[in-house]
Amino acid sequence: MAPPSRRLPPLMDELVEEILLRFPPDDPASLLRAALVCKRWCRLVSGPFFRRRFRELHRTSPMLGFLCFVPSRATISCFRHRGSGDTRFISTTSFRLSHAVVPSWRAVDALHGRILFYDMDTSPETVELDLIVWNPITGEARRLPMVPLYTYRWSAALLCAAPGCDHVDCGYGPFRVVVVATEPFDGLTSACVYSSEQHAWSVPISVQNLSVRILRGPSVLVANALYFKCDQNRILEYDMGKQELSVISLPSVCDGSCKALMTAEDGGLGFAVVQRSKLSTWSRVDDGSNVGWAQRRVIELDKLLPLSTIVTRVVAVVDVLGLIFIATYTGLFLFTIDLKSGLVRQIYEDTERRDTRDIVPYTSFCTPALGAASTDEGPRAGASSASKA
């Protein structure tokens, strides 16, 4: 006679939680699958205490994908249709957006699960600027008041305004948007700041004759100063504490090369640039008597990339992850290079050879929020919603 089978006692909630906390944050689907195992696990994973601990343990928000503007086929062959196309979210993990991106919105910046767009349909390129801040998980969108600047050449940055921000749990807190712009006629360079708490723009500050043309692209925040790319191998500095605008020159060896601003290893201002087949990173140095630039790292790209993709350009940097986005000039391939490990990963390929633009990496924590599935009703088949933690 066979001995009676023994059922092992279920693991204590504390042990299950410690196991689930160590699931990789860049694979949200694994937590979703765990939450659907049983009601008890679902309650654990869906609870605010678990989400808080998950963020605190992993600290750095994972990159879930990126946004880019993909021109239409007409754009490739017809210059007069150069503005046609649509914005897409390209996932690099198991994460999928719960809400679709509005095709006419073009991404400018992203932070803590929010994305800053401007609306191509309602923003005449040189008259008014219509900005939107969107949470793609909840679908909540806030359309900002029209920017009180003449936005001939402009750029913008999305900032966190949460008190004591630890960059972990402030995705739903207050935020700011900074816009800098130049006017074509009198050389006026201006900046203004939007506050989500006041739902209003600050009084613009302006400087005459800086003689710069701002280039839209990734900015970088260092201490209390924001930096934006400009033409002629220069950077615009906006000191938000002193309310001052000034211009910084880049090394002459980088003239004509595509660059992306970044935070240097010492926490100061830096940038990454591709020249020929080499990716190099630079940082700004101040020895007390002179302020200049020093090259920090050089990476031989022809040893890391396929031979057909040697000619590349830097399009974005994810400072918190140490990732640099590089692309071919045709937009055919897009790669990330991990500065810590040296790992190279191809994350995008366009078989139609279109020049993808406005590359904006998207980082966020994402954990399941299954509603009734975490109550006594039990898991529902097909539940797949998610909540940004």
Of 88, 52, 90, 84, nearest to 71 by C-alpha is: 84
CA dist 311 and 248 (Å) reads 27
CA dist 327 and 355 (Å) reads 10
Q: Which CATH number fits domain 97-249: 3.40.50.720, 2.40.170.20, 3.90.550.10, 2.120.10.80?
A: 2.120.10.80
Q: What Cα–Cα distance (Å) separates residue 119 from each residue in 110, 139, 146?
A: 15, 16, 11
Helices 13-20 and 39-46, packing angle to 10 deg? 60
Domain boundaries, the chain: 15-59, 97-249, 253-362
Per-residue pLDDT in tens (0 to 9) along the chain, 389 residues:
556 556 656 677 788 888 888 998 888 888 888 888 888 888 888 888 888 888 888 878 888 999 998 887 654 444 333 457 889 899 998 888 877 888 889 999 999 889 999 998 876 555 678 999 998 877 889 999 999 988 788 999 999 887 666 555 445 689 999 999 988 777 789 999 999 999 999 999 999 888 788 988 889 999 899 999 998 889 999 999 999 999 999 998 787 778 899 999 888 999 999 888 889 999 999 876 778 899 999 998 888 887 666 667 888 999 888 999 998 876 678 899 999 888 899 998 887 666 777 899 999 887 766 543 444 433 333 333 344 44
Its pTM stands at: 0.84
CA dist 131 and 84 (Å) reads 19
